[in-house]
């Protein structure tokens, strides 16, 4: 059931609907206030190859010198680019997240994955999981706790976050290579406005009178989703088909399709005024995981567009929270702060310490 409230439609700004590509990408950047936690000396290790595709399979590590902390919790961040960039680790949002969370005592890995011009799904999902495995296999070298991995990202990076989360209980996906017994699991995930059920985007947006941005229609062969999904019979990149022509291949890219039984805790966040991705994309993954008895949160911010900065410390927001017992609470308040996000990570990483998952 949709949590959309009709009276909130008036919150949409007509200007958002006419955003061009450049302006829309600027909106995705993270804005952060000065961290209230101590600053540590941070060592940056650049261009670590976790797979054979360069620059697509590279990551940067940011390692704070935290006194008395032998093994640091790790936050993995992937910046959104509509799957068009294979150098997302170098984006301003990645640098901002690294600064915010190293100051809070986390090691931070900013990762790149192959763009949809370099490879098509499931390559991107496999890359996300390969990065997690590499970080786990090399955790001891960098002073990282292999049992405390968090994942966070925005837009297509939110998709990567949700994909990592919902496949954490799967040792090896079909066609995946190089697993060799190492877990691809993370212990907690925070996807910001992730695309999930690609097939429902345009219908939901039209039915709910949502703003239409540059990426619409998502069903179009030249949309970000159209470039990502390979339909049988396509001649890439000259002749592409609508994702509606290959629903089975498209559904395989939906993180919710991997939810079955116990999953890791997630906090999914979305803006009601997002001109690029309808909010049902976050709502669907929240509903799917809580229906299986899992712990999750879902925050909807009426004023927020396609921007992490719009969500953090927003003046008004609604958060649905479901605990492990299946009880849901609804809180009307402000948007979460970075302190709130970090507390969610900390609580769930503390639970996971020493579990090996």
Q: Residue 65's closest CA among 96, 110, 103, 109?
A: 103
Can you state the angle between helices 123-137 and 156-166, rounded to 10 degrees?
70
pLDDT at residue 22 is higher than 50: no
Q: For the whole model, what pTM was predicted?
A: 0.90
Question: Strands 317-322 and 296-301, how do they pair?
Answer: antiparallel
Q: Indicate the pLDDT class of residue 70, thresholds 50, 70 and 90.
A: confident
Position 353 scores a pLDDT of: 73
> Interior CA angle at 313 toward 148 and 306, to 5°?
85
Q: Each residue of 277-328: pLDDT tens digit? A: 999 999 999 999 999 999 999 999 999 999 999 999 999 999 999 999 999 9
Q: Quick one: pLDDT at residue 215?
A: 52
Rounded CA gap, 98 and 40, in Å?
12
Contact 301, 274 (CB under 8 A): no
Q: Cα dihedral sign for 186, 158, 309, 297?
A: negative
pLDDT digits (tens, 9 = 90+) for 156-195: 999 999 999 999 999 999 999 999 999 999 999 999 999 9
Task: Note the pLDDT of residue 12.
Answer: 29
Domains assigned to the chain: 6-197+255-352 (3.40.50.1820)
The per-residue pLDDT for 7 is: 28
In this predicted structure, what is the pLDDT of residue 20? 33
- Structure tokens belonging to residue 321: 């929270």
């Amino acid at each position: 059931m949709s949590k959309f409230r009709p009276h909130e439609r008036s919150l949409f700004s007509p200007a958002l609907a006419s955003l061009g590509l450049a302006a829309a990408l600027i909106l995705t950047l993270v804005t952060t206030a000065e961290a209230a936690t101590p600053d540590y000396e941070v060592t940056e290790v650049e261009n670590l190859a976790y797979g054979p595709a360069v620059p697509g399979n590279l990551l940067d590590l940011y390692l704070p010198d935290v006194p008395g902390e032998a093994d640091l919790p790790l936050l993995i961040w992937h910046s959104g680019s509509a799957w068009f960039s294979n150098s997302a680790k170098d984006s301003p949002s990645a640098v901002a997240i690294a600064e915010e969370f190293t100051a809070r005592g986390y090691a931070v890995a900013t990762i790149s994955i192959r763009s949809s011009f370099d490879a098509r799904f499931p390559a991107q999902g496999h890359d996300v999981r390969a990065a997690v495995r590499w970080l786990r296999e090399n955790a001891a070298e960098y002073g990282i706790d292999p049992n405390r991995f968090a994942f966070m990202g925005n837009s297509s990076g939110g998709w990567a976050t949700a994909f990592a989360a919902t496949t954490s209980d799967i040792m090896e996906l079909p066609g995946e290579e190089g697993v060799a017994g190492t877990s691809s699991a993370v212990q907690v995930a925070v996807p910001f406005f992730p695309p999930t059920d690609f097939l429902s985007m345009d219908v939901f947006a039209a039915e709910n009178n949502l703003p239409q941005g540059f990426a619409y229609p998502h069903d179009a062969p030249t949309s970000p989703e159209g470039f990502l999904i390979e339909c049988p019979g396509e001649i890439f990149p000259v002749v592409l088909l609508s994702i509606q022509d290959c629903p089975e291949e498209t559904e395989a890219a939906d993180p919710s399709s991997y939810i079955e039984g116990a999953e890791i805790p997630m906090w999914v966040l979305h803006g009601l005024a997002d001109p690029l991705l309808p909010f049902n994309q976050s709502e669907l993954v929240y509903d799917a995981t809580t229906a299986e008895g899992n712990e999750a949160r879902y925050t909807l911010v009426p004023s927020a567009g396609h921007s992490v900065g719009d969500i953090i410390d927003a003046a008004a927001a609604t958060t649905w929270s479901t605990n492990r017992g299946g009880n849901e609470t609804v809180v009307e308040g402000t948007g979460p702060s970075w302190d709130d996000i970090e507390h969610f990570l900390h609580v769930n990483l503390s639970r996971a310490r020493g579990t090996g998952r």
